Chain A
């Protein structure tokens, strides 16, 4: 083994497409897999440059991302594809690294890679996939829409997910409300999904000005909020009161935008 080899660090945008572009570049480089790292550039942590490494800056291109996705789907499996997309959406600086190693194993093992818990990168990808899956499920449960315009009816929901679950959540509500205008606003990543009554869907990053406009739309809606709160309180059984159990199922940090918990 060539111990003298320099580690190559692929620096990329901290988005799903950014990570996938870096995986693509690293993959076609032909450089030894063990000497490749993928590092998303994050606002919150200043770059920690290493002296003994070669840095390669990767440009995000959708085409590269799609090539990776297609290869995984066709050459590994649909399950590995799900693992890839979920883990890539995670908010974890090591996800590029874990995914790269996961795919290297996947291209030789096939679908079985998803079961190989003894491989560290697989274990990590599984954990990330589970975290993202859980959050997108929580988001489907606890998302709350309000009517911000009546003619035509426009519904708006705001949430602050840790991971980039907006695409999965949009897909769910698109199927559910095919003929409705609605917007889901991810306040954490300053991203929003727009859906029209003609079932057109768009997800994009927002400018600060757009985000402000969405915030301004978040006026109070009275009638159904009051009815819902009435129901919410009437349905609880006093003799069974158990707030600890309630918190277990519905952690406090998920309640910020949940109608029945807003005074």
Chain B
């Protein structure tokens, strides 16, 4: 190991940002908190990006490691202990000063603190907690904080961090337990899922006892609710418990008026048994516990999982752990480890992109993993987005008549999103719809035209509901920024074109 003795702040920042860059989530969303007198900062539920790096990824948070020293030897990770790279460690003061000074200049929306494992998971988590404690109480920072829960940390420390953080995340690392065993020998599924469950319970308790504190439910949760499906994390027992807690909350809220005093709130649940939040009486509860919820990420393309397996895992995570987001990270072979697949040139960015699109279909559009893929068709089409791909396989459901279709049916149309669908539903209560106004509502016509009618007519009379015809036209209009990334392909390789690449066959 190379230790950087007396590294300057700038050198440390270069090393510890470099070590953190493979972590995907840079979101600052999920909680809206007003500014406070005597403090600095607020948060916005939609999240705010502040810049975009040369790879096109958003920079919202100061994403750094506390240290890149690590006792673990995960084969995929650049910080593994056997790697011969410069190592550095921040002090809590350095992290706080950087966060505050960057925040004042509006470079960032807050801090994303992760870390290599020094000595033990508990020791590492203690360092993280110390830093966050200083940032919140000494530096009076009221902006966004995302921090990692280190697998294998004791529950007290996970909870401690949760009282300072807005969002926490535990990385799933790989879609399957087998992949994890092979590539991250020091981690197990259990050490990952345990803190995840603890945070889930803590968030739920916090919401029931303290209110939402500006946080929102996950998009997945709202979508399931709208469709009348079971909500994430629901079991019969929990439903009952929730009912009971609701009554208790009513009692607590009664007589405390709008301005709930923290003392009274704390006093109100003396004697609550089995709570995930054991430190609630000793901590500043004004922000709630992890008010913005939790997320996770997994690496795509290092182990042999299919897209179907990945989407099924994703769906299970939303349902059972009430996650806000699942992030995907196209595998980059930074260590050239012989047990890992050799990735020739580009990481599988296109595949990653399709997974994100499908993830949105699960969270906002009410699709299920099994609607999109199956055992017999386990991969997404890399040339078409998953929604177009789905629609082409279900042409019997089209065209959709926009003047009559309900919200959920509109959502299934390629080119119509959540905003435009709700605008359509509202607009037709006030007057006649036409193609011009659909455009103004944000409908992406170059995709939607093949799938809709307005007052019984398609936009152009020559359009036909035909799989090959639509596919060809969709591909021609494709101005995807991910084009050329990932797999090296030409249109010629598309199975729907004949061997000579003769596209006239479809005209």
B10 lies within 8 A of A224 (CB): no
Partner pick for B101 among A175, A224, A235, CB 8 A cutoff: A224
Query: What is the CB-to-nearest-CB distance from B161 to chain A, in angstroms, rounded to a whole number?
Result: 23
Would B58 and A249 count as touching, CB distance under 8 A? Answer: yes
A139-180 vs B, Cβ < 8 Å mask (1 yes, 0 no):
011111111000000010100000000000000011111111
Instruction: Point out the residues of chain B lying under 8 angstroms from A228, CB to CB.
Output: 102, 105, 107
- Looking at the complex, which of A33-41, A49-57, A240-248 is the stretch in contact with chain B? A240-248
B53 to chain A, nearest CB (A): 4
A109 at the binding interface (Cβ < 8 Å): yes
Assess the A176–B42 pair: CB atoms within 8 A. Answer: yes
Q: How many residues of B contact A (CB 8 A)?
A: 61
B34 to chain A: closest residue by CB: A175
Q: How far, in angstroms, from A119 to B332 measured CA to CA in the complex?
A: 52
- B231 in contact (CB, < 8 A): no
**Least Cβ–Cβ distance between A89 and chain B, in angstroms:** 20
Assuming the contacts A140-B48, A237-B21, A246-B52, asked whether A230 and B14 have C-beta atoms less than 8 A apart, the reply is yes
Distance (whole angstroms) from the CB of B140 to the closest CB of chain A? 9
Report B253 CB to chain A, min CB distance, Å: 26
Are the C-beta atoms of A239 and B346 separated by less than 8 Å? yes
Do residues A175 and B346 form an inter-chain contact, with CB atoms below 8 A?
no
Closest A residue to B63 by beta carbon equals: A235
**Does B433 have its Cβ within 8 Å of any Cβ on chain A?**
yes
Partner of A230, one of B10, B52, B58: B10
Shortest CB-to-CB span from A262 to chain B, Å, is 12
A90 to nearest B CB, angstroms? 15
**B102 cross-chain contacts in A, Cβ below 8 A:** 224, 227-228, 231
Whether the pair B55, A178 counts as a contact (CB closer than 8 A) is no
Report the bound CA distance from A75 to B423 in whole Å: 23
Residue of A nearest to B107 (CB): A228
B467 contacts chain A at the CB level, 8 A cutoff: no
Tell me if A235 and B433 are in contact (CB < 8 A): no
List residues 42-80 of chain A with CB under 8 A from any CB of chain B.
Answer: none
- Determine whether the beta carbon of B104 is less than 8 Å from that of A177: yes
- Of A22-30, A92-100, A110-118, the segment with at least 4 beta carbons within 8 Å of chain B is A110-118
CB 8 Å contact bits of B313-344 with A (1 = contact, 0 = none): 00000000000000000101000000000000
Alpha-carbon separation in the docked complex, A177 to B36 (Å): 9
- The answer to the question of B228 belonging to the interface, with a C-beta cut-off of 8 Å to chain A, is no
Q: Are A245 and B481 in contact (CB under 8 A)?
A: yes
Residues of B within 8 A of A240 (CB): 55-57, 330, 332, 347, 349
Shortest A227–chain B CB gap in Å is: 6
Q: How far is the CB of B77 from chain A (nearest CB, A)?
A: 14
Q: Which residues, 34 to 88 on B, are CB-close (under 8 Å) to A?
A: 34-42, 48-59, 62-64
* Cβ contacts under 8 Å, A107 to chain B: none
A236 and B17 CA atoms in complex are apart in Å by 9
Known: A175-B34, A178-B35. A232 touches B53 (CB 8 A): yes
A178 to B37, CA, bound (A): 6
A127 within 8 A of B: yes
Could you tell me the distance in whole angstroms from the C-beta of A106 to the nearest C-beta in chain B?
11
Q: CB of A216 within 8 A of chain B?
A: no
Complex-state Cα separation, A260 to B105, whole angstroms: 12
* Distance, CA A157 to CA B14, complexed state (A): 26
List, in ascending order, chain B residues with CB within 8 A of A205's CB.
Answer: none
Residues of chain B within 8 A of A231, CB atoms compared: 13-14, 17, 62, 64, 102
Are A117 and B332 in contact, with the CB atoms below 8 A? no
The smallest C-beta distance from B333 to any residue of chain A, in angstroms, reads 9
Kindly list chain A residues whose C-beta atoms are within 8 Å of the C-beta of B56.
240, 242-246, 248-249
Distance between A155 CB and nearest chain B CB, rounded to angstroms: 6
Residues of A within 8 A of B38 (CB): 179
Query: A123 in the interface, Cβ–Cβ < 8 Å?
Result: yes
Complex: how many Å from CA A258 to CA B51?
A: 9
The residues of B that contact A230 with a CB separation of less than 8 Å are: 10, 13-14, 17
Query: In the complex the two chains form, is B21's CB within 8 Å of A234's CB?
Result: yes
B431 contacts which chain A residues (CB < 8 A)? 116-119
CA distance A176 to B39 in the complex (A): 9
Cβ of B9 < 8 Å from any Cβ of A? Answer: yes
Do A109 and B430 form a contact, CB below 8 Å, given A227-B10, A242-B56? yes
Q: How far is the CA of A224 from the CA of B40 in the complex (A)?
A: 18
In the complex, B426 has a CB within 8 A of chain A: yes
Q: Is the CB of A259 within 8 A of B40?
A: no
Name the residue on B nearest A174 (C-beta).
B35
- Inter-subunit contact A115/B423 (CB<8 Å): yes
Which one of B20, B21, B55, B106 has the highest number of Cβ atoms from chain A below 10 Å of its Cβ? B106
Q: What are some 30 contacts across the A-B interface (CB < 8 A)?
A: A113-B430, A115-B426, A117-B423, A117-B431, A117-B441, A141-B51, A145-B104, A145-B106, A155-B105, A175-B35, A176-B40, A177-B104, A178-B39, A179-B38, A179-B40, A224-B101, A228-B102, A231-B13, A231-B102, A233-B54, A235-B53, A235-B59, A237-B21, A239-B346, A240-B57, A240-B332, A242-B54, A243-B54, A246-B55, A250-B52
Additional A-B contacts beyond A176-B143, A179-B39, A235-B20 (5; CB < 8 A): A126-B440, A177-B35, A224-B101, A241-B55, A245-B55
Binding site for B on A (CB under 8 A): 109, 112-113, 115-119, 123, 126-127, 137, 140-147, 155, 157, 173-180, 199, 224, 226-228, 230-246, 248-250, 258-260
Lowest 9 CB-CB distances: which A-B pairs, in order? A245-B56, A118-B431, A115-B426, A236-B53, A240-B55, A234-B17, A116-B430, A117-B437, A175-B35
